[in-house]
């Protein structure tokens, strides 16, 4: 019997249905894309190059962000600035930027649903963070984009940079630290696969390994880290387009199924997105949903839990992210919807 559960980290994919055959193109494997070990390494590389070659002096991040990325940039000689934005408030970013050639503005694609409405920028360099919609590199109009790969794909690690404007990309180097990180991450993914298949595996063991690997990504020894060969081998096999397409099919199913009682909490309005994003009026209500989902073995996430600005802390406390990616079929999505519908909550 399978151990059915939903969400959290990807396990290792072994189902050939999700692999490319020789006729399929692999959108992420091409000469215009620089692969590296993580999303944070990708932006580190772009900034390092820009500081050196173009004299970049400051980089702006939105306040509502994954701050681990910003922490990873501490060794770079560049001023880190925050602009006031979070996706749930749609606040006016006003004249937040020094619009000079030495300024860099990071524009985040929030959950593949919305992004910062940056306009009237004439000189500053725009970098899109497309971690939650990796294939949108083809439509980005920024100077550069970058992403993490392991959020949308079942890979042990990975990130990439691309320049829609055709600028030079940074290069990355292989290291023993990166290889060992991948080994651990692959073991965790394999153990989880074995567990989900119904075999006796200590869940705590692979949870610890995932956490250990996550910690590994913060290691500044990986600042120039290339994508290790073993991770590249996993990536090369995957049918990235189909994997992402299935997620959009699942989001459509959810939007068509959820009742009017729940749609006010639903941040998704179209089939696009990284998953189902729910946004509640307060933390108590969010937590009651979270608890009920966990009891039903649906493990939602908070993106991102460690906010540093007052408004963003409040917003993160009200959001919940439910995984509805390619791992789940029509019946699974029905189960997730029914669970959501039957949660006993009070407004
Ligand atoms: C929006 C966003 N950008 C970048 C990253 C960094 O990716 P990685 O963990 O691969 O360094 C993350 C997640 O950690 C993220 O959520």
Q: What is the mean pLDDT of each successive set of 10 residues along the chain, which is 347 residues long?
A: 91 96 83 97 98 98 96 97 88 81 97 89 97 97 98 98 98 94 96 95 95 94 95 96 97 95 92 95 95 96 94 96 97 97 80
Strand pairing partners for 148?
159
Q: Which residues of 52-76 are buried (b: 16+ CB within 10 A; e: fewer)?
A: eeeebbbbbbbbbbbbebbebbeeb
| CB within 8 Å of 193: residues ≥ 6 apart | 11, 12, 14
CA distances from 129 to 46, 60, 170 (A): 12, 12, 16
Q: Distance, CA 130 to ligand 1 centroid (Å)?
A: 9
pLDDT, position 2: 85
The answer to whether 322 and 31 are in contact (CB under 8 A) is no
Using a 6 Å cutoff on CB, does residue 273 contact ligand 1?
A: no
Q: Distance, CA 298 to ligand 1 centroid (Å)?
A: 22
Q: Tell me if residue 82 falls in helix, strand or coil.
A: strand
pLDDT, position 40: 98
pLDDT, position 25: 76
3-state percent breakdown (helix, strand, coil) of the chain, nearest 5: 40, 15, 45
Candidates 2.20.25, 1.20.1050, 3.40.640, 3.30.70; correct CATH number of 1-239? Answer: 3.40.640
Structure token digits, residue 315: 């917003």
Using a 6 Å cutoff on CB, does residue 109 contact ligand 1?
A: no
Compute the distance between CA of residue 126 and CA of residue 75 in angstroms, rounded to an integer: 21
Q: Where in the chain is the domain with CATH 3.40.640?
A: 1-239
- Structural fold of domain 240-338: 3.90.1150
Residue whose CB lies within 8 A of the most ligand 1 atoms, among 36, 42, 66, 172, for a mutation test: 66
pLDDT, position 346: 65
Strand pairing partners for 279?
319
The answer to whether 12 and 306 are in contact (CB under 8 A) is no
Compute the distance between CA of residue 227 and CA of residue 296 in angstroms, rounded to an integer: 36
Nearest CA to ligand 1 atom 7: 39
The answer to whether 104 and 124 are in contact (CB under 8 A) is yes
Using a 6 Å cutoff on CB, does residue 66 contact ligand 1?
A: yes
Q: Where in the chain is the domain with CATH 3.90.1150.10?
A: 240-338
Instruction: Tell me the pTM.
Output: 0.96
| CB within 8 Å of 248: residues ≥ 6 apart | 271, 272, 273
For the chain, the residue count is: 347
Using a 6 Å cutoff on CB, does residue 39 contact ligand 1?
A: yes
Strand pairing partners for 114?
110
The answer to whether 346 and 266 are in contact (CB under 8 A) is no
């Amino acid at each position: 019997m399978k151990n059915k559960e939903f969400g959290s980290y990807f396990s290792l994919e072994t189902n050939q249905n999700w692999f490319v055959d020789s006729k399929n193109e692999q959108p992420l494997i091409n000469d215009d894309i620089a692969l590296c070990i993580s999303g944070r390494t990708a932006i580190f590389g772009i900034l390092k190059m820009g500081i050196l070659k173009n004299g970049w002096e400051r980089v702006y991040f939105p306040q509502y962000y994954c701050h681990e990325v910003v922490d990873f940039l501490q060794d770079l000689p560049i001023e880190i600035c925050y602009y006031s934005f979070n996706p749930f408030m749609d606040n006016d970013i006003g004249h937040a930027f020094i619009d000079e050639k030495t300024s860099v503005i990071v524009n985040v694609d929030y959950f593949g649903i919305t992004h910062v409405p940056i306009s009237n920028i004439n000189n500053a360099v725009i970098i899109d963070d497309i971690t939650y919609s990796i294939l949108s590199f083809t439509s980005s109009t920024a100077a550069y984009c970058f992403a993490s790969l392991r959020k949308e794909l079942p890979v042990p690690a990975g990130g990439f940079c691309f320049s829609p404007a055709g600028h030079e990309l940074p290069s990355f180097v292989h290291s023993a630290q990166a290889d060992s990180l991948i080994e651990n991450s692959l073991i965790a993914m394999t153990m989880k696969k074995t567990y989900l298949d119904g075999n006796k595996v200590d869940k705590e063991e692979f949870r610890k390994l995932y956490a250990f690997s996550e910690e590994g990504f913060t290691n500044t020894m990986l600042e120039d880290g290339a994508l290790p060969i073993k991770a590249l081998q996993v990536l090369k096999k995957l049918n990235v387009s189909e994997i992402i397409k299935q997620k959009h099919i699942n989001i459509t199913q959810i939007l068509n199924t959820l009742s009017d009682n729940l749609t006010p909490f639903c941040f998704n309005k179209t089939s696009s997105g990284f998953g189902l994003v729910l946004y509640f009026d307060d933390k108590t209500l969010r937590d009651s949903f979270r608890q009920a989902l966990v009891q039903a073995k649906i493990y939602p996430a908070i993106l991102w839990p460690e906010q540093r600005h007052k408004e963003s802390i409040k917003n993160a406390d009200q959001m919940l992210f439910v995984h509805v990616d390619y791992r789940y079929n029509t019946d699974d999505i029905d189960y997730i919807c029914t669970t959501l519908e039957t949660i006993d909550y009070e407004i």
